[in-house]
Amino acid sequence: MNRKSHFNHTTFTSGNNSNSMEASSVTGASKLTNMTNIWDKTGNGAAKVANIWDKTQNEAGKVTNIWDKGENEAGGGLDELMEVLGYKVKASDMTEVAQKLEQLEEAMGSCQQDGLLSQLGSETVHYNPSDLSTWINSMISELNPCDNNQCFQDAFMADSSSRSNLGSRSYSSSSVVIFDDSAFDSDLTAIPGKAIYPPPPPPPPPPPSQTVVGLGGGGESSLNPPSKRLKPNRALLDEGSSGSNNSYSVNSVNSIRPVMMVESEENGVRLVHALMACAEAVQSENYKLAEVLVKKIGILAVSQAGSMRKVATYFAEALARRIYKLYPSNQNDLAFNDYLQMYFYEACPYLKFAHFTANQAILEAFAGKSHVHIIDFGIKQGMQWPALLQALALRSGGPPSFRLTGIGPPSSDNTDYLQEVGWKLAQLADTIDIKFEYRGYVASSLADLDASMFDVREGETVAVNSIFELHQMLARPGAIDKVLSVVKGLKPSIFTVVEQEANHNGPQFLDRFTESLHYYSTLFDSVEGGGGAPGDCDVGVVGGGGGVAVQDKVMTEVYLGRQICNVVACEGIDRVERHETLAQWRTRFDSSELEPVHLGSNAFKQASMLLALFSGDGYRVEENNGCLLLGWHTRPLISTSAWKLK
């Protein structure tokens, strides 16, 4: 057989009466009797977890340089977002200012009876100071905290029984003003009204005898919305108790200037707008504006929770890398990416769905065949093939002779991981009495392959398999055409393809950014909201009770974050995550004289049963012209299709 200089290969066979291996580092195979030792998933991946975490930390640590660079370039060292609002605060003082704001809030909540009203009614509160730190200090010094015996405890207002007991206390003749709970419990800072919008005109005053809230048994009208927890204003409470009647005029309340609260939902909308505005600035090469916006994105992302915060953070990092031209150095570390994909396999059903549907199509194509040969364009850790081997072993009429050719990228540590994958598969095949032959090829690109290398034998039924591999060929002109010509030269009975259902390969950056933002937001939502099969290791979900292991989830987010960074920050041949939709692949395959193979209703039903093992109810399987798509709610995320020569 002809060998090319850029390839390494490992070959060995396994049968009932013989075990042989043509590799310098392997002398033979031993037969295992315990099935749990045959397929030890930790053999390849878990032993390198420390290396994975080290690389992840190194990659994440570079983000600090991005923000540091932005801070150094900011005018005068001031925080640009605060400067836009009229405040002069150094970026290095933001932490101290935040602490002082917390102290001011505590002081306002525990002030004397006249202290709060006099301060809120004064022009000092509503003046928009340029020196924010000094102004906060002056406010704190002017507010005097009250004695403990003059303050209400929230427990007295928590339930109706506590409120009824207030009548027997010295506060029985008091009246309070109800404030919305969100005005005190929000995790966002209150912004003075004049800082952003002028205050609205005060409402007309009610009659002097009107009672706002009555807590005693005197028969006054009571204003008590059941959906809100009562919170007393202590200054108003003491003022009302000192009067001659059980009421408090709201005329004094009207003198208090309004305070505007920034809601978390509003921040979410602003966050999306900031992301889009930053992408527009990048496309128009207005990098000064883009720098300001990317900092705003980081601030707004903190107020969000769950997947939204994570997605925004990864997109902010990718935008910052593009703005400051700090491109990731290890994006082409394909072996590291393969290890991260193992955690993606464990955390969500997308790869399981891909393997299952592709195997089902291959199994149907191999029906009645005695000699079969699978060529896997990306064998990874070989997790797809044990299930197919077991299905062939149970086939009526006996299993066929099975050949597997696995292709993978070079290893960063020069280990022959393809040999290890083949060794485990050979032991499994020997245990279930399948004649097995394996050959592994190391290739930097699928475009380097040639049909003559695969030694297709007469009478073999060939299947070619590609899982998330073909879109990477779109980075180099002519590479995908070369790969499809190799497929045609192999004359396969079936060609199975799984790809992301997204369009991240358009010529305009803003279009790619918008599409990727929608796509990965949905994908992160599914990782956050979807559960795992309860304790079923065969399905691949770690952790009992329908949960997903924390490590699997975190590393999955790193895996997806690397894709986001590649789509947004990289260009040219370095941008390899060039996903296209099923319709685009259909047009491309049709021009290469390939026609679709219908994936039948049986595959659809079994794929739906597979998803039933996951506790998340948002996954959906859809059939589209003989192809199967898996998505989250109404958004398709990956597609499985099968093809053959016309």
Contact 426, 12 (CB under 8 A): yes
Q: What is the mean pLDDT of the chain?
A: 73
| Positive or negative torsion for Cα 50, 56, 62, 63 | negative
With a cut of 70, say whether residue 362 has pLDDT above it: yes
Lowest mean pLDDT among 137-146, 294-303, 355-364, 617-626: 137-146
Q: What integer is the mean pLDDT of 526-545? A: 54
| Positive or negative torsion for Cα 416, 421, 423, 426 | negative
H or E stretch at 352: helix 350-365
C-alpha dist (Å) from residue 2 to 5, 407, 452: 10, 17, 8
Q: What is the pLDDT of residue 239?
A: 40
Q: What is the pLDDT of residue 112?
A: 52
Rank 22-36, 290-304, 610-624 by mean pLDDT and report only the highest: 290-304
Strands 191-192 and 635-645, sheet pairing: unpaired
Q: In this structure, what DSSP letter does residue 111 have?
A: B
Q: Cα separation of 437 and 568, whole Å? A: 42
Give 368's contacts (C-beta < 8 A, 6+ positions apart).
Answer: 397
Q: Cα separation of 57 and 558, whole Å? A: 10
Residue type, 25: S
Strands 259-260 and 461-467, sheet pairing: unpaired
Query: Quick one: three-class SS letters along 208-227?
Result: CCCCCCCCCCCCCCCCCCCC
Q: Cα separation of 211 and 223, whole Å? A: 9
Q: What integer is the mean pLDDT of 412-432? A: 92
Burial class (CB in 10 A: 0-12, 13-18, 19+), 208: exposed
Strands 635-645 and 627-632, sheet pairing: antiparallel
Q: What integer is the mean pLDDT of 439-465? A: 95
Q: What is the pLDDT of residue 530?
A: 73
With a cut of 50, say whether residue 37 has pLDDT above it: no
With a cut of 90, say whether residue 273 has pLDDT above it: yes
Q: Which domains does the chain have, with CATH numbers?
A: 8-54+331-645 (3.40.50.150), 84-260 (no CATH)
Q: What is the pLDDT of residue 600?
A: 81
Give 469's contacts (C-beta < 8 A, 6+ positions apart).
Answer: 377, 378, 446
What are 23's strand-pairing partners? 26
With a cut of 50, say whether residue 479 has pLDDT above it: yes
Other C-beta atoms closer than 10 Å to the C-beta of 293 total 26
Burial class (CB in 10 A: 0-12, 13-18, 19+), 434: buried
Tens digit of each residue's pLDDT (9 = 90 or more) over 250-267? 344 444 444 334 456 788
Q: Cα separation of 233 and 176, whole Å? A: 6
Contact 61, 330 (CB under 8 A): no
Rank 1-10, 468-477, 532-541, 546-555 by mean pLDDT and report only the highest: 468-477
What are 259's strand-pairing partners? 192
Tens digit of each residue's pLDDT (9 = 90 or more) over 342-358? 999 999 999 999 999 99
b vs e for 457-485, b when ≥16 Cβ sit within 10 Å of the residue's Cβ?
eeebbbbbbbbbbbbbbbbeeebbebbbe
Give 226's contacts (C-beta < 8 A, 6+ positions apart).
Answer: none
Please indicate, yes or no, whether the overall pTM of this predicted structure exceeds 0.75: no
User: Greater confidence, 251 or 613?
Assistant: 613
Residue 194's pLDDT band, with cuts at 50, 70 and 90, is very low
Contact 499, 589 (CB under 8 A): no
> Which residue, 566, 617, 189, is CA-closest to 340?
566
Strands 461-467 and 436-442, sheet pairing: unpaired
Strands 461-467 and 8-14, sheet pairing: unpaired
Residue 407's pLDDT band, with cuts at 50, 70 and 90, is very high
Q: What is the pLDDT of residue 598?
A: 95
Q: What is the pLDDT of residue 14?
A: 57
Q: What is the pLDDT of residue 563?
A: 96
C-alpha dist (Å) from residue 238 to 99, 111, 117, 145, 462: 29, 12, 12, 14, 87
With a cut of 60, say whether residue 628 has pLDDT above it: yes
- If you count them, how many residues does the chain have? 646
Lowest mean pLDDT among 159-163, 335-339, 443-447: 159-163
